[in-house]
Structure 1
Amino acid sequence: MRLFIKNATIVNSDGTKKANILIEDDKIAKITDENLDADKVIDATGKLVMPGLIDMHVHFRDPGYEYKDDINSGSEAAVAGGVTTVLPMANTNPVNDNAVITRDMIAKAKARGLVDLLPIGAISKQLKGEGITEMGDMLNAGAVAFSDDGLPVSSSDVMRAALEYTKHFGSYVISHCEDCSMCRSGVMHEGKVSAILGLKGMPREKEEIMVSRDMLLAKLTGGHIHIAHVSSQWSLKMIEMAKKEGINVTCEATPHHFTFTDENLMNYDTNFKMSPPLREITDKEAVREGLKSGLIDVIATDHAPHNVDDKFTEFDHAAFGILGLQTLVPLTLKLVEDGVITLEDMVRLTSKRPAEILNLKNKGAIEEGYLADITIIDPDIEYVYDENLNKSKSTNSPLFGKMLKGAAVVTIKNGKIVWDFPNLMA
C-alpha cells in the first residue's frame, strides 16, 4: 500500500518545511519535492502535517467501567483527536496491577487496530499504597511505567521502593501529587472563588508538598519521577530547581490547566470539576510559561470520561474529571495563536518529547524510516464539538456543544487512514 501526501507543511520539533511524503506500508519511505504514484493521494494544501500525537495520560475505564468509555471508544476518540499512541492509567476494575490485565488491555487495542496502547501499571496492589506490584512481570507483558494515578502513594517507603525498582528495569514512576491529609473534603481550589461559592477548597500546597517529597525520593534513589498534571506555580518552581540540580524529573501539563481557572466555576458547572482542581490565573500563567520555556516536558490530556449521572448532581458529589482527547488540538493551537508556543513547540510537547521519555525510536518526527503515524491538522477549521463528532461514550466537557477552531482532519496509523474528518462531516 502506497499513500502519498502532497503539498504538506511538515512540522517537526526542529523546524517546518514544505514537501511531499510517500508512505509505503507502515513506514515513511520518502520526503521529497517530487510527485510520485501511489494507491491513494491526500492533498494537504493549507494543512499542517505533524507526527502522530502521543498522549501519556488517559483513562479508558476498561476493564470495569466500560459504560463511561472502553478501549474501543477511547481509541476512536484518540484518533479523532490526532492521537496515535495512548498510555491508559491503572485505576480500572480490576486494577491493572498484574500481567494478565496488562496483556488483556493491549490485546483489545490491537483487535481494534487504531492506536498503540502502552499501559501504565499500578504502583501498589489494588491501589492501596501498601506494597508494590510485580513490576518486572508487568513490564514483560507490555506496561511502560507505573502510577496509582487517581490516588497518591502516601507512603514514602512505598514510593521509594517503586523508584528503585523502576530504575532497575529502566522504567519510571508517574506521581499523582496530593497530600490527602490536606484535602479536607475539598471539591475545588481553595481561594477567593471557593469562598464566594461556599464550596470546600483544597490548597495548592497539597500538591506542592508531594511534589517536593517525590523529587527528594528521586534524588535519593536516582530513579525517574514524572509529575502528572502539574497545576501550581510553586510546583513548577520546585521542578525547575530539581532539574537544575540534576534530579531525574519530568512533568506534564493538561490543556484544561493552561486554558481555564477557578473563575470558570462561578456557575457551578461540574464539568469544570477536576483533580487537581483548576487554580488561579497566576498558576495558569505559570503553566503557560513552563510550556514556553521547556520546563514542562509534555502536554497530556488526563482524558477522564464520566457518565452523565456522575456529573449531573450536586457539585459536592460530582465526579472529578474532564474529557480531553478531542479538544487537545484546538486548545493547544490556541496557545500557538496566543504566541505562548510555536508550532514546533507543539510537536515537541505532544510527540517528540513523549517519544523520548518512552524511548520510542521510530516515533515523534516526520522522517524517512519512521513509523507512518501522522496527524494532518487544519488550524482554521471551525466546527461544533457535539454528539456528531464525539467518539467517547461520555460528554463531560465544558466545551461540549461549543464552537472550536482547529482539528485533526486526517489521522494515519501505521500507514493506514484511521480518521477522516471531512468524510464524517459529509
Structure 2
Amino acid sequence: MKRLLRGVQLLEGPGVPLQRTSALLEGQSLLAWGEAAEAGVDGATQCRDAPPAALLAPVLVDPHSHLLDPFSGRAETLESLAAEAAAAGYGSVALLPEASEWRDRPEALQLRWPEPLQLLLWGAISAAGSGRHLAPLADLHQAGAVGFCDGESIPPLALLERVLLLGDADDLPLLVAPRDPSLAQSGLVREGVDTLRLGWPPEPLASELMPLQSLLALARRAPQLRLLNLSTAQAVEQLRQHPARPKASVCWWHLLQDHSTLDPLAPGWTITPVLGSATDRLALRAGLRDGVVQAVSVHHSPIDREEQMLPLDQRRPGVSGYQPVLPALWQALVAGDGWQPSELWQALSWGPSAFLGQEPESLQLGSQRWLLFDPEQAHQPRAGSLAANGPLSAQALKGQLLASGLLPVEQWSLDQG
C-alpha cells in the first residue's frame, strides 16, 4: 500500500537545506518526495498530513559498540541487537573486536545482518587485544574489517608504530582510546571539586590527557588515527589546538549527564571513560557542534540482570540501549541548546560515517534506509535489547520514531503521530 505524507520536514542529506514537502512511501521503501510524490498518488494511496514537527531523514550510524556473545549471550545477541538498532533508527552499527572470542582472525568477521541493516566490524590490532603480537591485519582487511582497535585503553606505542611502519592496515581507521588504566586508580568519576564533595573515588585527569598527548604526537604521521570517546574539557581543548587533529568520538551519555547532577542511585554511574563535571559535559557539546569532535557513539555495553545487581565496583562499566539516544539528544541539543536538526544529524549520522570511512547517509529513491521522527510525541519503546543497564529506562522521554524502512510496517506508530 502506498502512503503519502504531506507537510513533512525532509532532511535529504549533508549540505541540503531542510524543506517541508510531501513524501510517498510504499511498503518500507521511500518512493519519492516533492512534486514526484504527489504525481505518484493513485486511487489506493492513503494520504494524510504529517505531524507538524515530524522529520523524515537518513538513518543513524553508530561508530562503535560492544557485543560479547552474538549467538547465546544473556545480555544481548546479534538478533536482539538488530531489533534494538532498527527500533532506534540506526541503520549501521560497528562492533568493537572485544568479544568472548576476539575478532582478531578473518573467520571471526563473518557476522551479518539482513538488509537494509548494515553490520560493520572492527578487527583487533593485536592477538586477543593483548598488545603483544600483531593480528593478521592484511587478512582482516581482506575479510572486510572496517578498521582496527584494541579496546578501551591505549595499546603500547611501539605496537602502533609497528602498524604504521608495516602498512598492513593501509588507510583504514585505527581506533585508539586515549586512556591509560595504570593511571586511573580505580576511580568511579573524574577528579574535581564535586568528586571530593560527593566522596566518590576519583579518576585522575592524567589518565586521559597523558595518553592523548602521545597519540597527538603520532597523529602527524597517521591521518587514519581515530580517538575513542573523549570525556574531558581539557582533552577537547588539546584537540582543538592541534594542527593535525584526528577524528574523535564521544559517547552520547557524556553529552547528557555529569557526576554533579546524576542521582547516586540511578543507573549510568559506571561507564568508561568515567563521567566528568558539568564543565566537561558542556565542552564536549561545544566540541561536537563546532567539529572538533566528529561522531557520537552509542557505545552500547550490555550486561544482564544478574550482573546489574552487583555493587558498582564489581560490574562491568557501560550503559546500553539505542532507542533513548535520538529522543534524549534531541531534547538536550535541539530543544535545549538550539541546535538545528542538520547539526544533530551531523553528529549522529554523517559524522560517524566519515569516522568509519564510509559515504554519508542520504535519502535515496527506493531505499529503506530512512526514518520518520516526531520530537513532540511521547516516547514509547519497542521490544529490542535484552540488556539490563539502560540508563533511561525508568524515565519518561519525549520523541518517537514513528516509522522507518528498517522496521516492518506493522511496527510503525505512524497512525498515532
**One fold, TM greater than 0.5?**
yes
Does structure 2 retain, via aligned residues, the 8 Å contact 1:208–1:234? yes
- The unaligned stretches of length 5 or more in structure 1 are none
| Matched residues, number | 409
Name which of structure 1's ranges 351-360 and 87-96 shifts more when overlaid on structure 2: 351-360
Does structure 2 retain, via aligned residues, the 8 Å contact 1:65–1:92? no
SS at structure 2 position matched to 1:184: coil
Find the partner of 1:73 among 80, 91, 98.
80
SS at structure 2 position matched to 1:119: strand
- Counterpart-to-counterpart distance in 2, 1:19 and 1:166: 48
- Counterpart-to-counterpart distance in 1, 2:213 and 2:410: 41
Does structure 1 retain, via aligned residues, the 8 Å contact 2:60–2:92? yes
- Counterpart-to-counterpart distance in 2, 1:423 and 1:24: 14
After superposition, residues 40-189 of structure 1 pair within 5 angstroms as: 43=48, 44-46=50-52, 47-63=54-70, 66-103=73-110, 105-106=111-112, 109-110=113-114, 113=115, 115-150=117-152, 152-163=153-164, 169-189=170-190
Name which of structure 1's ranges 131-140 and 93-102 shifts more when overlaid on structure 2: 131-140
- Are the structure 2 counterparts of residues 424 and 5 from structure 1 closer, same or farther at C-alpha, using a change threshold of 3 Å? closer
Residue 14 of structure 2 corresponds to 13
- The unaligned stretches of length 5 or more in structure 2 are none
TM-score (norm 2): 0.88
Does structure 2 retain, via aligned residues, the 8 Å contact 1:52–1:83? yes
- CA shift, 1:194, in A, is 3.6
CA deviation vs aligned residue, 1:346-405 (integer Å, no higher than 9, x gap): 1111112223343434x4122558x441011011111365xxx35111121231121001
After superposition, residues 207-222 of structure 1 pair within 5 angstroms as: 207-219=208-220, 221-222=221-222
Find the partner of 1:347 among 330, 342, 345.
345
SS at structure 2 position matched to 1:272: coil
SS at structure 2 position matched to 1:403: coil
After superposition, residues 22-421 of structure 1 pair within 5 angstroms as: 22=24, 30-34=32-36, 35=38, 36-37=40-41, 43=48, 44-46=50-52, 47-63=54-70, 66-103=73-110, 105-106=111-112, 109-110=113-114, 113=115, 115-150=117-152, 152-163=153-164, 169-219=170-220, 221-242=221-242, 245-247=243-245, 249-334=246-331, 335-361=333-359, 363-368=360-365, 371-383=367-379, 389-413=382-406, 417=408, 420-421=411-412
CA deviation vs aligned residue, 1:266-312 (integer Å, no higher than 9, x gap): 52435321010110011001011112212221111111111122221
Does structure 1 retain, via aligned residues, the 8 Å contact 2:123–2:140? yes
CA deviation vs aligned residue, 1:104-161 (integer Å, no higher than 9, x gap): x12xx23xx46200111111110111122112211222210111223x1331011223
- Counterpart-to-counterpart distance in 1, 2:95 and 2:321: 13
Does structure 2 retain, via aligned residues, the 8 Å contact 1:80–1:419? no
- Counterpart-to-counterpart distance in 2, 1:184 and 1:162: 29
SS at structure 1 position matched to 2:61: strand
- Counterpart-to-counterpart distance in 1, 2:147 and 2:167: 8
- Counterpart-to-counterpart distance in 2, 1:140 and 1:25: 36
Identical-residue share of aligned pairs (%) = 20
- Counterpart-to-counterpart distance in 2, 1:309 and 1:61: 16
Name which of structure 1's ranges 307-316 and 48-57 shifts more when overlaid on structure 2: 307-316
1 or 2, which has the higher helix percentage?
1
- Counterpart-to-counterpart distance in 2, 1:225 and 1:269: 35
| 1:383 maps to amino acid | H
SS at structure 2 position matched to 1:263: coil
When the two chains are superposed, the root-mean-square deviation of aligned CA atoms in Å is: 2.9
| 2:299 maps to amino acid | D
- Counterpart-to-counterpart distance in 1, 2:70 and 2:210: 32
- Are the structure 2 counterparts of residues 66 and 20 from structure 1 closer, same or farther at C-alpha, using a change threshold of 3 Å? same
TM-score (norm 1): 0.87
